[in-house]
Amino acid sequence: MIIGVIDYGMGNLFSVEQALKRLNCEVVVSSDVQQLAATDALILPGVGAFPDAMKRLAETGLDQFIREQVDAKKPLLGICLGMQLLFDESEEVAPTKGFGFFKGSISKFSGVSESGEKYRVPHMGWNTLEFQTIPSWLENKELPESKYVYFVHSFYGANIDREQLVASADYFGVEVPGVVQSGSVCGMQFHPEKSGEFGVFLLQQWLNGVEVLAC
């Protein structure tokens, strides 16, 4: 099975690549659409600001390529900023349109809870995922008791379509979408490759689902 990691100059590519290799995947890290098109599934990583990322994707033509691949039902996983890019829009820096595969907008944590308690922004560290639905790639799988994953982000998906929500984490009363799914498109706000056993479990199960589709 070949997994394509989309290189548009704004992702922690090495950690994702190494995690995939440890899970016995052949990995192609590239910005070349022909190389990426020949893979079984795509991963869109991302670190940085939403507008910069969308600009880079547009300048390289990777935005259109991603849309074409999703239209063709190729599995796509967005990680961290890569997940946020898959929503309708973001308020980060300046209002910017995203891919629109997921309904909702990317908004900044206010830093103050509804009760008036101040909290730290970014949301950084370990938090527990609570599952709302089970996607096809987790069906008939026994989830580990410990569901901690590692987050690092100041913006989150708000006003989402709840039918697309798989799992969320609570951060001072804010429901933070942690895993979202719509058709062949999945998003993980946390870093599965840095989230210990449970993160590796989720990444492995997603890859297993890709393998079923590829066969």
- In the chain, the number of structural domains is 1
HEC letters along 82-145: HHHCCEEEECCCCCEECCCCEEEEEEECCCECCCCCECCCCEEEEEECEECCCCHHHCCCCCCC
Structural domain span for residue 190: 2-214
**115-161 tens-digit pLDDT:** 999 999 999 999 999 999 999 999 999 999 999 999 999 999 999 99
Active-site hit among 17, 92, 123, 193: 193
193 among known catalytic residues = yes
This prediction's pTM: 0.96
80 among known catalytic residues = yes
From 16, 30, 137, select the one nearest 4 (Cα to Cα): 30
123 among known catalytic residues = no
The residue type found at 15 is: S
Give rounded-to-5 percent helix, strand, coil for the chain. Answer: 30, 35, 35
| DSSP structure class, residue 183 | T
| Burial of residue 114, with CB atoms counted within 10 A of its CB: 0-12 exposed, 13-18 middle, 19 or more buried | exposed
**158-201 tens-digit pLDDT:** 999 999 999 999 999 999 999 999 999 999 999 999 999 999 99
Active-site hit among 17, 80, 92, 186: 80
pLDDT band at 214 (very low <50, low <70, confident <90, very high): low
> Looking at residue 129, which CATH number applies to its domain?
3.40.50.880
Active-site hit among 25, 123, 153, 191: 191
